[in-house]
Structure 1
Amino acid sequence: MTILLIEDEPLIARQLRKLVQQLEPAATIDGPLVSVQGVIDYLTHHRPDLIVADIQLADGVSFDAFGQLNLNVPIIFTTAYDEYAIRAFKLNSIDYLLKPIDPAELKTALAKYHRWQPTGTDFADQFRTFLSQLNGQSPPPAYKRRFLGHQLRQIVSVAQEQVAYFIRDELIYLYTTAGQRLVTDYKTLDELDDMADPTRFFRATRQCLVQIDAVAGYRPHHTGKIQVLLHPPNDRFELMVSKEKAAPFRHWFEG
């Protein structure tokens, strides 16, 4: 079994390679490849059994490489993005792992790969379906425009433009742009992330989903993290975006 790694962050690549070697000690591991062109050159002459691929590379996105090739290889995506299209693609039997990579999730993804081998699943068809979704060839998903929260003894509806952010504590709290804090009945931030328009909302941390109008700006941190400046300010917590999510956050904030 040959596994190709595609990852342009050296530290993450070393950690990923070590983890894959631990989980698949009999496998040959190629890579990591760090660029779209490097992926194209490799796959033109080699066919691995499995690809573990980052999405954002030094010279583009890995989709650019896969889209140019007649590829029928299962792919496990690793990404700092938590977007609807990626999750939808998971339903097509290609897994994705959100960085930082959870070893248990990678183990589960590799187990899926081994279970699929006798079925003859056409991964190329699945991948083309995903690319068509990303290229806008299927109807865009319907995102929620209003969210419910408890205010005193009432249930109120808050327009997405008036949502500053959602915070997960023991419950999921909705903070409004007017500074109100409302209790919600949503169970998880993953549930809300599925409902929210990704052009307006960003999963900044596992505990916070922030709306773009609530971001006054940000300060780069010497560790590579980003301190998000909220509007209105909130004295209850400091919002720090991880180094892995810093580039996706900047891309989202720039529009």
Structure 2
Amino acid sequence: MRALIIEDERLAAERLTSMLQACDASIETVATVPSVRRAVEILGLRPQLDLVFMDIQLADGLSFEIFEQVPVEVPVIFTTAYDAYAIKAFKVNSIDYLLKPIDADELQAALEKFRKISHSSTAAFPQPGALEEAIQLLSGKKNYKNQFVVKVGEHLHMIPIEEVASFYSYEKGTFLQCVSGKRYAIDYTMEQVEQLVNPDIFFRVNRSYLVRQKAIKDIITWSNSRLKLELHHTGPAGEVVVSREKVRAFKAWLDR
């Protein structure tokens, strides 16, 4: 199997190469390219490839731009640090993906899926409609919720998104925390909320918390390269720690 890796982070590319070798020693990484421009040049030469691993955010743009400039005639597995709101577009269109940091078991499963697809007549690379949808999601053009309806006794209240400081899960329930300090139960899972709100405004720091930047009072360096957040209003779920695998993406989200 001959694979091309399109990845602008050298260490991430080297790690993926090593993981591929560990999964299957017969896999040959033909090249590692860091940009849209270089990927277009390489693919334009029509090299003999079986599979392409493609990071979404490259040094000079989104990898979807590659498809607009050169035919990609081999299956693609996306690698991404983006959360599920964007990945949903790939899944419904049978585009495989690996969420960073890449897990060895998930990589193995993706390779098994590739092998099954390669022995069928089903196209394994992105279709135009899928790419347009994914680009739309990643460029922030998706329509996100402007308000949430909450029940207070026998009454329904509408909470504008501007008044929401965070969302959190606690004892099998999902709650909305307002900037005023009030909190309400909502009829959504955290996964659903994550897809309903604008990722430019809210960030999923761990499985239990989705926070707004303005809700953060202080950020403290914690053990094992993790970060602990002090919020203006903290729910009963306890201290808020940024998951280790999300620290880099969280810092990038803050530093926009």
Match of 2:242 in 1: 240
- Distance in 2 (CA, whole Å) between partners of 1:155 and 1:105 is 43
Counterpart for residue 89 of structure 2: 88
Q: 1:228 to 1:118 in 2, by over 3 A?
A: same
Structure 1 segments unaligned to the other structure (5+ residues): none
> Are 1:143 and 2:131 counterparts?
no
Give the deviation of 1:200 after TM superposition: 3.0
CA distance in 1, matches of 2:34, 2:222: 25
Q: Measure the CA separation in 2 of the matches of 1:237 and 1:112.
A: 39
Decide whether aligned partners of structure 1 residues 62 and 135 sit closer, same or farther in structure 2, where only a CA change above 3 A counts: closer
Structure 2: 5+ residue runs without aligned partners? none
| Equivalent position amino acid for 1:78 in 2 | T
The 1:64/1:104 distance shift into structure 2, 3 A limit, reads same
Report the number of matched residues: 250
Q: Is the contact made by 1:227 and 1:241 (CA closer than 8 Å) also made in structure 2?
A: no
1:130 — aligned with what?
Answer: 130
CA pair 170-67 structure 1, distance change in 2 beyond 3 A: farther
Shift of 1:252: 4.7
RMSD, matched Cα: 3.4
Aligned equivalents of 1:163, 1:195: Cα separation in 2: 13
Distance in 1, Cα, partners of 2:254 & 2:95: 28
Could you tell me which amino acid in structure 2 is paired with residue 113 of structure 1?
A: F
- 1:208-227 equivalences under 5 Å are 208-215=209-216
Q: State how 1:1-255 maps to structure 2 within 5 Å.
A: 1-45=1-45, 46-82=47-83, 84-123=85-124, 126=127, 128-134=128-134, 136=136, 141-148=142-149, 156-171=157-172, 172-187=174-189, 189-215=190-216, 230-232=231-233, 236-240=238-242, 242=244, 246=248, 248-249=249-250, 252-253=253-254
CA deviation map 1:172-221 (0-9, x unaligned): 3322211234344434x222212223343222333322234435686889
**Aligned sequence identity (%):** 34
Q: Structure 1 220/30 Cα, relative in aligned 2: closer, same or farther at 3 Å?
A: farther
Contact between 2:19 and 2:104, CA under 8 Å: does it hold in 1?
A: yes
The alpha-carbon distance between structure 1 residues 115 and 41, as it changes in their structure 2 partners (threshold 3 A), is: same
> What residue identity is the alignment partner of 1:52?
F
Compared with structure 1, are the counterparts of its residues 234 and 195 closer, same or farther at alpha carbon in structure 2 (3 Å cutoff)?
closer
Letter in 2 for 1:165: S
